[in-house]
Amino acid sequence: MCAVCTVCTTAAPPSGATPPAGATTAAQRFAAGTWLDLTHSFDATTIYWPTEKGFLFEAGKNGPTPQGYYYAANRFATAEHGGTHLDAPRHFAEGRRTADQIEPWRLVGEAAVIDVAQKCAANEVYEVTADDLVAWERKHGRQLVDVIVLLRTGWSSRWEDRTSYLGTDARGPEAVPLLRFPGLAADAAKWLVEHRRVHAVGIDTASIDHGPSSLFGAHVALCSGDVPIFENLDGLQRLPEEGAFVAALPMKIAGGSGGPLRVLARLPGDK
């Protein structure tokens, strides 16, 4: 009998069988790893773009029922872009993928964390450059290929203070020119699209473009290249610069330009 036939006819262990003593399954090892949540909670204080209303939550008549069981059901309404969220390519590029069309492989993968927190502390409107990206590559001896690039500016530590996080507490269109926070330079975003192959790009600020931007060149470059964007991430300082596994799962809104996003990271070294 050929080797292939031997493999095909070997009986699988019965369902529910107990593994040998000391053995662990891949699923058990995966589940036992250290997971981190990189998502800000959604509530009345969640930060949205100054032109948006924010997150609206309506509690239902939650409590015991006449039948004796407890029941809870609430309602919420939200703009696509606010809190920890996805920018689908359609957001800034006509004809590109909407939230429900993004290939699943773009939403998971190894994180490459670009740490520019010190530069951003010295310059609150710092723009991450292609040189910053190349410096990561030189340090780690590899290219930014088949990774989710996460830009660590340190801004998530300001989340509880809207004015500090956005640069202003003003609301409405008149607030947009007052925004001040770091972002990704347009030419660096274009470099990623044209010279590297990344799954997605995320940042711990309110926008992938820095606050003073009026042309949103980083958005345009990434979205035109069908690269999803993750904004308002939390706690990137807890991740190593390479090796963590990230899963970023947005609400699957048909035709959506974005939507609420839950981002989880699994630390390396958990065997």
Quote the tokens at residue 10. 């070997």
- pLDDT band with cut points at 50, 70 and 90 for residue 251: very high
- Whole-model pTM? 0.88
The confidence score (pLDDT) of residue 28 equals 56
33 φψ region: left (φ > 0), alpha (ψ -120 to 50), beta (else) = beta
Domains contained in the chain, CATH given: 35-56+76-266 (3.50.30.50)
DSSP E strand boundaries for 78-228: 85-87, 108-115, 127-128, 147-152, 183-184, 200-203
How does pLDDT run across 218-236, given as a tens digit for each residue? 999 999 999 999 999 999 9
Residue 82 per-residue DSSP state: B
Evaluate if residue 40 carries a pLDDT over 80.
Answer: yes
Residue 138 per-residue DSSP state: H
What is the CA angle 141-225-220, rounded to 5? 110
Helix (H, G, I), strand (E, B) or coil at 3: helix
How does pLDDT run across 175-209, given as a tens digit for each residue? 999 999 999 999 999 999 999 999 999 999 999 99
Evaluate if residue 15 carries a pLDDT over 70.
Answer: no
How does pLDDT run across 47-96, given as a tens digit for each residue? 999 999 999 999 999 999 999 999 999 999 999 999 999 999 999 999 99
How does pLDDT run across 20-36, given as a tens digit for each residue? 555 555 555 556 679 99
Residues 97-121, mean pLDDT to the nearest whole number? 98
Burial code (b: 16+ CB inside 10 Å, e: under 16) for 160-187 equals eebebbbbbeeeeeebbeebebbbbbbe
- pLDDT band with cut points at 50, 70 and 90 for residue 268: confident
How does pLDDT run across 150-179, given as a tens digit for each residue? 999 999 999 999 999 999 999 999 999 999
Contact 169, 162 (CB under 8 A): yes
Residue 153: which residues within 8 A CB-CB, separation 6 or more? 116, 117, 120, 126, 181, 182, 203, 204, 205
Helix (H, G, I), strand (E, B) or coil at 105: helix
- pLDDT band with cut points at 50, 70 and 90 for residue 16: very low
- pLDDT band with cut points at 50, 70 and 90 for residue 5: very low
Q: Identify which of 114, 70, 91 has the alpha carbon closest to the alpha carbon of residue 205.
A: 114
Residue 14 per-residue DSSP state: P
- Which of 4-8, 87-91, 211-215 is predicted least confidently? 4-8
